[in-house]
Structure 1
Amino acid sequence: MNISLILILTLALTNAQAKAIEKNRLLLAISKTDHTLVFIDTSTLKILGKATVGADPHEVVTSSDGKTAYVSNTGSGKLHEINVIDIKTMKALPSIDTGALLGPHGMVVNGEKLWFTSEGSKSVGRIDLKESKIDWLMGVGQNRTHMIQVSPDQKQIYVSNVDSGTISIFDNLLLPPPIPPIGAPLPGAKPQMGWLQTVIPVGKGAEGFDVSPDGKKIWVTNAHDATISVVDIASKKVIQTLNTKVLGISRIKFTPDGKRVLISSLRTGDLLIYDAASMKEIKKLNLGKGAAHILIEPDGERAFVSCTPAGYISIIDLNKMKILRTLDIGPRPDGMDWAP
């Protein structure tokens, strides 16, 4: 056989194997009624096991090394527990007590840090995962601080505040030394790094949001207004308001290539697919009684949407923009994440 042909066939086989390995990951999904974290093989869509979690599980995130899952328990802003699950054994480890930071909800892992929102305490906190301790917190001063994202360099934090109808952007900046109310500045006082919050009014019920893959814009769902606010991160201003005409839009997610945006409605069960460049709707799918959390595969081929009121997860073919099937993991599915 021709050497060049052998190399081509080998390369094709290697690419096919790599794609198969990439597909072979776990989907972690919460059943709120069963109080379980469910482990699903995405290649077969079979349930591999379940782990018991807390009284009111909402969101789940995976550690950077893929070994540990963290589940927040909100309890209408009253609970103070983040469950820790060993992914390999699917067993619970000692939980993290968030103390006075009540109602942990949105979470994101960045390196060895777990950042989370505290709905009941109007704050954001950060946990050192090596020590399982809170090592930083910051008050937000807005009502029902809900979802969170952190920039890759950890110098910007973005949070949504549902009942205040706002988005907060925190910048880690070099701030001037403090000036006392009376008298001259303290001798030897120097500028130091600190966090500066910018509060951006968006719409009523500002709940879900996502940062565009290029890091330039935030799209925010305003559940009570049926609108999407597009925020320019550099200027920290709303540059566009899109009327979806669909009430209850609660979650939003960019595809990995940044070309499309998926928006779910917990009230109507609709999944809207928007073209990111034109900001126009290109498809609407109805998934049943209500649609919530959205998770998209890294290759952008499928989306998984937890349909909480209907009691299943819908799997969407994003190339054909159609529903492939549904997956039953237990009543009231909600937060989801990937694990290797």
Structure 2
Amino acid sequence: MMKRLKLLILFFGLLFIVLRISILVFRLPSYTISTSGKLYIVSKLSEDVQVIDLSTGKEIAETSIDMLSHEAIATTDGKNIVLTNYGSEVDFDLKIIDTKTNKVKKTIDLKDNTKVNGIVQYPEANKVAVVDYVNNKLLVLNIETEEIEKELETNQKKSHLAVLHPKKPLAYTTNINSGSVSVINLNTDKVIETVSCGIGRKGIDITPDGSEIWVTNTKENVIKVINTKTNTVVNTITSGNESLKIKFSVDGKYCLVVNSTDGSIDIFNQQSKEKIKTIMLHGKTTLLEKLLYHTPRPVNILMHPNGLYAFVSNSNANKIEVIDMNTFKIVSTIGTGDVPDALVFVE
């Protein structure tokens, strides 16, 4: 009897070890592509930025930023990465990373209870536009002089993210508590239209030709399509659960949406507004997958400028999932710090 018990304990012990090893193996990142440029990955919980050489998938630098950030952009000349500080209740600052040294070269203190989240490239390389969600303003900041050159009211509550029109002097901000999008004329510095999108709006992106804006709504699990000529909602598209960020392909033919609760990425045809595919991340479908992988939570998305790949932050798994934009399949993964979010590309 004791012999059988020992054999049983040994069997289950070996089974446990095999399972643990299998889990570690399956969760390892695997990078099999080669493309141009560097990918900057902002991990919220680690409070750091990794720099990945996309030709090899290898980390070439890691920089501590000592702040909770999940929005970042590269300046139009590619010389700087600018990050907003969303998590701190004390510091209202931005940090700037030099893309040559991959080190933090400057911290800009915004002061006066200015707290920013959303950030977009400005046409001038020395400027960015940031969204102040306390005072509900779009701020045009000169990162060289550290001066706020414009303070543009959104006239709404809890302004959050922003995009700029690619061809016209227009900015669009999403407003969480108002459930709307503010349309701001950058020449007159005034809101010219407010578009109701429903409480729960979250992500926003604009087509490369500037004809449409798509806005996700996490409460209703829909995407609102806004015609930028009329500034009206012209379509409502059903999305997955908790659709956060949204991004158009470089050619504008497709729109990718990350559904964080579902652990999936939806791909829509921009013209027809039809969903053409759903990519399920590992860890959500079968019992075996749930055992072998982390529960997936995609939260952010970035397109490679060459149009060949999309990069998705899988925050629970501490990975970046790489999607082939020709096959719409995951072809590689990149290991990250804890809770990756913002992604920035530099050539």
Q: TM-score, normalised by structure 2?
A: 0.82
How far apart, in 1, do the equivalents of 2:115 and 2:71 lie?
Answer: 12
* Map of 1:223 onto structure 2: 218
* Map of 2:268 onto structure 1: 274
1:102 paired residue among 114, 120, 127: 114
* Map of 2:297 onto structure 1: 290
Matched, 1:71 2:83: yes
318-327 or 253-262, which deviates more: 318-327
Q: Which runs of 5+ in 2 are unaligned?
A: 1-33, 283-295
Tell me if structure 2 keeps the 8 A contact 1:164–1:205. no
How far apart, in 2, do the equivalents of 1:163 and 1:222 lie?
Answer: 12
Task: Specify the code of the residue in structure 2 equivalent to 1:338.
Answer: F
Task: Specify the code of the residue in structure 1 equivalent to 2:341.
Answer: D
How far apart, in 2, do the equivalents of 1:275 and 1:268 lie?
Answer: 20
Moved over 6 A (4+): none
1:29 paired residue among 31, 41, 48: 41
Matched, 1:200 2:214: no
How far apart, in 1, do the equivalents of 2:204 and 2:147 lie?
Answer: 27
1:77 Cα offset (Å): 7.1
1:154 Cα offset (Å): 6.4
CA RMSD for the aligned pairs? Answer: 1.8
Tell me if structure 2 keeps the 8 A contact 1:54–1:83. no
Deviations 1:227-265 (A, max 9, x none): 010001111100111112x12001111101111110001
How far apart, in 2, do the equivalents of 1:132 and 1:301 lie?
Answer: 36
1:72 Cα offset (Å): 0.6
Deviations 1:45-70 (A, max 9, x none): 11111111132111111122211111
* Map of 1:235 onto structure 2: 230
Q: TM-score, normalised by structure 1?
A: 0.84
Task: Specify the code of the residue in structure 2 equivalent to 1:29.
Answer: I
How far apart, in 2, do the equivalents of 1:164 and 1:77 lie?
Answer: 23
Change (3 A) 1:76 1:248: farther
How far apart, in 2, do the equivalents of 1:94 and 1:209 lie?
Answer: 28
2:209 paired residue among 214, 219, 240: 214
How far apart, in 2, do the equivalents of 1:153 and 1:218 lie?
Answer: 14
Q: Which runs of 5+ in 1 are unaligned?
A: 1-21, 174-192
* Map of 1:124 onto structure 2: 138
* Map of 1:262 onto structure 2: 256
Give the share of equivalent positions with the same residue, in percent. Answer: 28
Task: Specify the code of the residue in structure 2 equivalent to 1:240.
Answer: N
* Map of 2:28 onto structure 1: none
Equivalences for 1:153-164 in 2 at 5 Å? Answer: 155-164=169-178
1:36 Cα offset (Å): 0.6
Q: Secondary structure at the match of 1:29?
A: strand
1:86 Cα offset (Å): 1.2
1:152 Cα offset (Å): 4.1
Aligned residues: 299
Task: Specify the code of the residue in structure 1 equivalent to 2:309.
Answer: R
1:150 Cα offset (Å): 1.7
How far apart, in 2, do the equivalents of 1:277 and 1:119 lie?
Answer: 33
How far apart, in 1, do the equivalents of 2:305 and 2:118 lie?
Answer: 21
1:332 Cα offset (Å): 0.4
1:109 Cα offset (Å): 1.7
Q: Secondary structure at the match of 2:160?
A: strand
Tell me if structure 2 keeps the 8 A contact 1:53–1:71. no
Change (3 A) 1:311 1:194: closer
* Map of 2:161 onto structure 1: 147
Q: Secondary structure at the match of 1:126?
A: strand
Tell me if structure 2 keeps the 8 A contact 1:96–1:133. no
1:78 Cα offset (Å): 6.0
232-241 or 138-147, which deviates more: 138-147
Q: Secondary structure at the match of 1:293?
A: strand
2:339 paired residue among 307, 332, 339: 332
Task: Specify the code of the residue in structure 1 equivalent to 2:254.
Answer: R
Q: Secondary structure at the match of 2:298?
A: coil
Change (3 A) 1:79 1:122: farther
2:246 paired residue among 229, 252, 269: 252
Deviations 1:240-297 (A, max 9, x none): 11112x1200111110111111000122211000111110000001225211111111
How far apart, in 2, do the equivalents of 1:29 and 1:96 lie?
Answer: 21
How far apart, in 1, do the equivalents of 2:259 and 2:181 lie?
Answer: 19
Task: Specify the code of the residue in structure 2 equivalent to 1:87.
Answer: T
Tell me if structure 2 keeps the 8 A contact 1:260–1:276. yes
* Map of 2:311 onto structure 1: 304
121-130 or 94-103, which deviates more: 94-103
1:216 Cα offset (Å): 1.0
Task: Specify the code of the residue in structure 1 equivalent to 2:206.
Answer: V
Task: Specify the code of the residue in structure 2 equivalent to 1:214.
Answer: D
Tell me if structure 2 keeps the 8 A contact 1:218–1:233. yes
How far apart, in 1, do the equivalents of 2:314 and 2:91 lie?
Answer: 24
